[in-house]
A and B are shown apart, each in its own frame.
Chain A
Amino acid sequence: MNSTVKQSEITTKYHLPGDLAIWVFIFAELLVFGIFFLSYAFSRAGNVELFNESQKMLDTASGAINTLLLITSSYFVVRAVTAIKSDDAQRCVYWLAAALAGGAGFLVIKSLEFADKFSHGISLGTNTFFMFYLSMTFFHFMHVILGMIILAAVLIKARNGGYSAAEHTGVETGASYWHMVDLVWIVLFPLVYVIR
């Protein structure tokens, strides 16, 4: 009885976090990555040895650190949303800055990884595995940058007092996109670096 009451409370209070437009965008992005992941799985199935062999050349440690960085950064944007919901714009700005720092750390580590691969003469044409590795991680890399641009825009607006407890859709919009960037990496990392 109690639980059904709670359930109906939840459904009436439920609202879509952020702008509807960002969700259309997020699902389109997830679709692109989804097709990439499926393509990867299919071509791996036909070429397991080559994939396993090439996978050994990847630096799992930096991939793992990057995973931690993105998850932590995602936690920071959650804190930013909570802060603005309690009308604390200043705290919201700090958390967003922390999230951005996480993203920047990711970019640095990933760039070092790319540099290492390129210095070994690895390119899109090396083999099917590296074609997928380079294109998927680079595509994701670009999304981290886009996500950071969105978060930075939200941060600037928050600093100028553009958001409040009553009106904070923009913060949720940015946070939703950032979670998507994180989510994609959480699938990408085990799929490409770990699973053999």
Chain B
Amino acid sequence: MKYQSQSIAKLYFIAAIGLFVGQILFGVIMGLQYVMGDFLFPYIPFNVARMVHTNLLIVWLLFGFMGASYYLVPEEAERELYAPWLAKLMFWIFLIAGAATILGYLLVPYAELAKLTMNDLLPTMGREFLEQPTITKIGIVIVALSFLFNVGMTVLTGRKTVVTIVLLTGLTGLAVFFLFAFYNPVNVVLDKYFWWWVVHLWVEGVWELIMGAILAFVLIKITGVDREVIEKWLYIIIALTLISGIIGTGHHYFWIGAPGYWQWFGSIFSALEPIPFFVMTLFAFNMVNKRRREHPNKVATLWALGTAVMAFLGAGVWGFLHTLAPVNYYTHGTQITAAHGHMAFYGAYVMIVLTIISYSMPIMRGRTANGPKSQVMEMWSFWLMTVSMVFITLFLTGAGILQVYLQRYSDTPLGFMVVQDKIELFYWMREIAGVIFLIGLILYIMSFFVKHDDEVTA
């Protein structure tokens, strides 16, 4: 670690992993509720479990992105963080606000929570992924702005690199598009229309820039390939992401009441969305093959390659599967969507955060890489989580295809709940895969506690 203030990332990463565990626990609970509807009722109803599962995901990924920025920005800018105290303060504010919000979901009925937090004054609650009370949303904006200020000042007063500029662009976009969470028009079409400006332009726009920047940073470090080469790839990836992703928002506008031309725009542009992910895969493998040093942190390399491949499969291939309007006409809102959502989030964003954690955590703990025992354990956790996520995706895809056929395509379509009963087997298998994912995650955490054995060998 070159700069003292980089160690702030450790706080953020620990919190991220803690919330990740919570997210998976609620995922497993919810998976069981798919087949045992009254499991834990009335304490944790399905809708609450779902809200906690998705909100925790977003919050812990944000912790991960912030941690990643605090780690890599000082090193790239070649100076200490502009205001380390601010980063620490914002950490606690974000963590407490996040925890209070989740507890609010769990302990109080949602309508009650809305009243309690005075949602009436500025109603923003009640929309998928943006369920947070208005006051939490304001908190998120404050945290995001101070974070941007801190990182921005560090970048602007230090050495500017393509990695930090791209990262800063992504983070700025993240903050700007979140503001649409406060726009809550009465017209449902307009509401959905701009809701996607947060949701889609995050995950298929600015988050990809953040992911590209983090991946580029880790690859520079572990492969020793010339910065110029890596930066050129990064430029191409960003250009392709923005060409396809921005107008690609149209694939959410097919059936919500937006003008019909969106069926063309959405289909055409989002059909290209796999390309930047494919280039990212080529990029990662090319750089690792051209490596000019053997970095002792093998498992970080594994995560970096893994995230590129899984992002391409989950976001690229599984996204393309149902992105064309004539196909989406049948698959909209079925388990196909759930399959895509799971693998895309895991492949692109969970894995990129785990990549930077895997690379930087040993350094922040005073060594270039963990000992072989710890690395092997982490590799096991990589494979357990990744393979079980592949199976979760496959089972949900199977469930989705059956659902589409039985409920929407066959000559004698069946009702929603009848179909849900018929595809129960897939949900059971998904739940088993989910439990294996949890085991992988436990192993991942255990790998941090393996006694460091480098001193013995060195």
Task: Identify the A interface with B (CB < 8 A).
Answer: 21, 24-25, 28-29, 31-32, 35-36, 39, 124-125, 131-132, 135
Which residues of the other chain, A, contact B275 by a CB distance below 8 angstroms? 28, 31
Query: With A124-B259, A125-B261, A131-B261 known to touch, is A35 a contact of B236 (CB < 8 Å)?
Result: no
Residues of B contacting A: mostly? helix
The interface-forming segment of B177-185, B264-272, B415-423, B444-452 is: B264-272
Beta-carbon contact of A28 and B240 below 8 Å: yes
| Distance between Cα atoms of A135 and B265 in the complex (Å) | 9
Q: Which of chain B's residues 226-249 have a Cβ closer than 8 Å to chain A?
A: 232, 235-236, 239-240, 243-244
Q: In the complex, which of the residues B232, B260, B272 contacts A35, with contact meaning CB atoms closer than 8 Å?
A: B272
A36 and B261 contacting across the interface, CB-CB below 8 Å: no
Q: A28-B240, A28-B243, A124-B259 are in contact. Are A39 and B279 (CB under 8 A)?
A: no
Nearest chain-B residue to A29 (Cβ)? B243
Q: Roughly how many angstroms separate A135 CA and B266 CA in the complex, as a whole number?
A: 13
Give chain A nearest CB distance to B282 CB in angstroms: 10
Name the residue of chain A whose CB is nearest to the CB of B267.
A39
Interface of A is mostly: helix
Bound-complex Cα distance A94 to B59 (A): 55
Q: Shortest beta-carbon distance, B234 to chain A, in Å?
A: 10
Shortest CB-to-CB span from A35 to chain B, Å, is 5
Task: Give B53 Cβ to nearest chain A Cβ, in Å.
Answer: 36
B232 cross-chain contacts in A, Cβ below 8 A = 21
Q: Judge whether A21 and B261 touch: CB under 8 Å.
A: no
Q: Are A32 and B272 in contact (CB under 8 A)?
A: yes
Q: Which residues of B contact A131 (CB under 8 A)?
A: 260-261, 264
Closest 6 A-B residue pairs measured CB to CB? Answer: A131-B261, A124-B261, A35-B268, A24-B236, A21-B232, A125-B259
Complex CA distance for A32 and B267, rounded to whole angstroms: 11
- Chain B's closest residue to A24 (CB) is B236
A32 touches B269 (CB 8 A): yes
**Complex alpha-carbon distance, A103 and B313, angstroms:** 40
- Closest partner residue, chain A, to B268 (CB atom): A35
Given A21-B232, A21-B236, A28-B243, A36-B268 contact (CB < 8 Å):
yes
Shortest distance from the beta carbon of B409 to any chain A beta carbon, whole Å: 22
What are 29 A-B pairs at a CB distance below 8 A?
A: A21-B236, A24-B279, A25-B236, A25-B240, A28-B239, A28-B240, A28-B243, A28-B275, A29-B243, A31-B272, A31-B275, A32-B243, A32-B244, A32-B268, A32-B272, A35-B268, A35-B271, A36-B268, A39-B267, A39-B268, A124-B259, A124-B261, A125-B259, A125-B260, A125-B261, A131-B260, A132-B264, A135-B261, A135-B265
Question: Given A32-B269, A35-B271, does the pair A21, B264 have CB atoms closer than 8 Å?
Answer: no
Q: What is the bound-complex CA distance between A39 and B244, given in angstroms?
A: 16
A170: min CB distance to chain B, Å: 14
Residues of B within 8 Å of A24, CB to CB, are: 236, 279
Q: Mark B5-32, 1 if CB is under 8 A from A, else 0.
A: 0000000000000000000000000000
> Nearest chain B CB to A150's CB is how many angstroms away?
12
Residue ID in chain B nearest A31 by CB atoms: B272
- Max chain B CB contacts within 10 Å: which of A25, A32, A125, A132? A32
User: When chains A and B are docked, how far (Å) is the Cα of A35 from the Cα of B275?
Assistant: 14
Chain A residues whose CB sits within 8 angstroms of the CB of B240 once the complex forms: 25, 28
User: How far is A6 from B191 in the complex, measured between Cα atoms in Å?
Assistant: 66
Give the complex CA separation of A24 and B238 in angstroms.
12
A4 to B235, CA, bound (A): 40
Q: Which residue of B lies closest to A35 (CB)?
A: B268
Distance to closest chain A CB from B364 (angstroms): 34
Chain A residue contacts of B267, Cβ below 8 A: 39
Task: Report chain A residues within 8 Å CB of B236.
Answer: 21, 24-25
Q: In the complex, what distance in Å separates the CA atom of A21 from the CA atom of B282?
A: 14
A24–B279 CA distance with the chains assembled, in angstroms: 10
